[in-house]
Structure 1
Amino acid sequence: MLSDERLALFTKWRVGAFGRKLREVCEDVSYDDMAFEEKVELCVDAEIEARDGRKIERAVRSARFKIKDACVEDIYYLPDRSLTRDRVARLASCAWVEARESLVVISESGGGKSYVAQALGVSACRRLMSVRYARLNDMFREVNVARTEGRVYDALDRFSGPDLLMLDDFFTTPIENPLNAVDLFEMLEAREGRGSTLIASQLEPDQWYLRINSELCADSILNRVVEHARFLDIKGPNMREYTARLRAGKDEDYWK
């Protein structure tokens, strides 16, 4: 039997999952008929799975998602919602991220675009891709603060570098600082052919012009985002109201 002292050594050597699985194999009679090599392989697989899990957790933390528990498994596929399991599964495979393509997710307010977008971002994290999520105005705020501190290019690099950059609430409000239109153009220019960009917006691309004062920047931004982008247009019920009703029903059942 593997003692607690011996098991602690595996943790000290940073192969704790291997040690825990080894203890299970030693104490569970259902493993007795397995060959020695098969038992070792189980322990190695347990350690690999644990390490990948920690990498995924770090990737999700680094992404800075607003909805930290978003996942494609929890997306609702309602009869009157223009969203299918097959379409989501294809996007969740992240082939478009590997191909450095852009994805534009559009829905009205409450349509669930932010949740779906972040669920796809988590799917990219599960494949150990680097991801950065931000609301567009929050990104501008971070860049503007960095500009006052003389490190604007460091801030731009943080958004230009990930495998997948996710910009939520895209042009929900107009760009007030003309420098930010240039910042956005520079980021998208730097990412072209090097990384994927996911944009979630309430507005169709032909309405984005109204949010940018510079016509030249507007054309440049649209060309880089829209020209070769995939589109996911979500129509259907207000998901905030739908999930609120679900929660209310569960609470009512709890007190019965």
Structure 2
Amino acid sequence: MTTIKTTQSVYQQLRGHLTELKLADAAEALPGILDQAQAEDWTLTHALERLLAIEVTATEKRRLAGRFRFANLPTGATLENFDHDAASGIDPHLLAELGTCRFLENATNVLLIGPPGVGKTHIATGLGHAAINAGYRVYFTSAADLAARCHRAAIEGKWSTMMRFFAGPTLLIIDELGYLPLPAEAASALFQVINQRYLKTSIVITTNRPVGAWGEILGDTTVAAAMLDRLLHRSVVVPLDGASYRLRNHHAAAEEIRRATTGTNLG
């Protein structure tokens, strides 16, 4: 009887220790692990490894989920489901290399340049997914939203806090530069963000305008030149071309409707 009580007491103490250390998944798994260890005659080391492996796996899942929540990615697009055949001008081997995230190790930037609808945002989002899965912190924003947040922070006296926020992620994705005109203060804010990340952490930018037109986008050729000097110092420039994804989908849907209703192809 005393031995049984002692065993029960030790078990409760062990579970209590796990709970106190906030190892909730290990605490929940403890009964099953002990039963399996006894049934399969595991060593103490084996049992401890299996118990802690459960906690490590659960912890990494929570961290991964947290990185995805923070990243603010717009879709679930990945590099694996990118349509290479539809986007001319991009080397699949280069895309695969970028997907390894090795460019993050030396703070290389990636510029995705091309007309609307050719997959720039898809690739940028896919790089974000790859980086998150590799354990990096990522944040996705449009150029317009970044500018608006910086402008609001300046008005509210929170400029330094906002700059620290945009400096933090290992990968910052700035989408749709050039789609909307940026006021002078927005160009300055974008430059400050890029400048503080220079040679420290990576930026992915998607734009529909060639780099030679950035002075027009930003309304200031001097700021544009300084920004490009920092971005291009260590960068990969990826030009994309081809028909718009959205237009292709529209034409495909129209073709399906035509076939269903008339039994003929669009001519």
Instruction: Give the structure-1-normalised TM-score.
Output: 0.79
Query: For 1:1-80, what aligned pairs fall within 5 Å after superposition?
Result: 14-19=22-27, 21-22=29-30, 25=33, 32=40, 35-67=43-75, 69-73=76-80, 75-80=81-86
User: Given that residues 105 and 201 in structure 1 are in contact (C-alpha distance below 8 angstroms), is that contact kept between their aligned partners in structure 2?
Assistant: yes
What displacement does 1:233 show?
A: 2.6
**1:55-81 CA-partner distances (Å, limit 9, x unpaired):** 1211121122222x23333x2344343
3-state SS of 1:105 partner: strand
1:223 Cα deviation from its structure 2 partner: 0.9
Aligned: 1:125 with 2:132: yes
Question: C-alpha distance in 1, partners of 2:140/2:164?
Answer: 14
Equivalent position amino acid for 1:90 in 2: E
**Selected match of 1:164 from 160, 171, 176:** 171
Once the 2 structures are TM-superposed, how far is the Cα of residue 234 of structure 1 from its aligned partner?
3.0
The answer to whether the 8 A contact 2:136-2:171 is kept is yes
- The equivalent residue for 1:155 is 162
Number of the residue aligned with 2:214: 208
Tell me the distance in 2 between the aligned counterparts of 1:24 and 1:113.
48
Q: 1:145 to 1:87 in 2, by over 3 A?
A: same
List alignment gaps of at least 5 residues for structure 1.
250-256
Deviation of 1:33 (Å): 6.9
Q: Contact 2:179–2:207 (CA<8 Å) still a contact in 1?
A: yes
Shift of the alpha carbon at 1:126?
2.0
Contact 1:205 1:226 in 2 (8 A): no
Q: 1:206 to 1:55 in 2, by over 3 A?
A: same
CA contact (8 A) 1:97 1:196 kept: yes
User: Using a 3 Å threshold, how does the CA distance of structure 1 residues 49 and 240 change in structure 2: closer, same or farther?
Assistant: farther
* Secondary structure at the counterpart of residue 76 of structure 1: coil
User: Which of these residues, 103, 123, 134, is aligned with residue 110 of structure 2?
Assistant: 103
CA–CA separation in structure 1 for the residues paired with 2:83 and 2:91: 6
* Distance in structure 2 (CA, Å) of the matches to 1:12 and 1:112: 49
Q: 1:77–1:85: 8 Å Cα contact kept in structure 2?
A: no
Amino acid in the other structure paired with 2:235: A
Seen in structure 2, the aligned counterparts of structure 1 residues 33 and 239 have a Cα distance that, compared at 3 Å, is: farther
| Alignment-mate amino acid for residue 38 of structure 1 | H
- State the partner residue of 2:190: 184
Query: Sequence identity, in percent?
Result: 20
Query: Post-superposition shift, 1:197?
Result: 0.9
> For 1:79, what is the secondary structure of its paired residue?
helix
Q: Encode CA deviations 1:218-246: one digit per residue, 9 max, x unaligned.
A: 11011111232112233344333556759
TM-score by length of 2: 0.76
Distance 1:108 1:46, change over 3 A: farther
Aligned length: 241
Match for 1:53: what amino acid? K
User: Unmatched 5+ residue regions in structure 2?
Assistant: 1-10, 257-267
Aligned to 2:264: none
- Residue 238 of structure 1, aligned match among 227, 234, 244: 244
Aligned CA RMSD, in angstroms, stands at 3.2
Contact 1:17 1:47 in 2 (8 A): yes
**Residue 85 to residue 21, structure 1, CA distance change in 2 (3 Å):** farther
3-state secondary structure, aligned to 1:70: coil
| Contact 2:82/2:123 (8 A) holds in 1 | no
CA distance in 1, matches of 2:231, 2:56: 37
Between the aligned partners of 1:88 and 1:138, the Cα distance in structure 2 is 27
Partner of 2:87: 81
* Pair 1:144–1:77, CA change in 2 (3 A): same
1 CA distance for matches of 2:131 and 2:249?
25
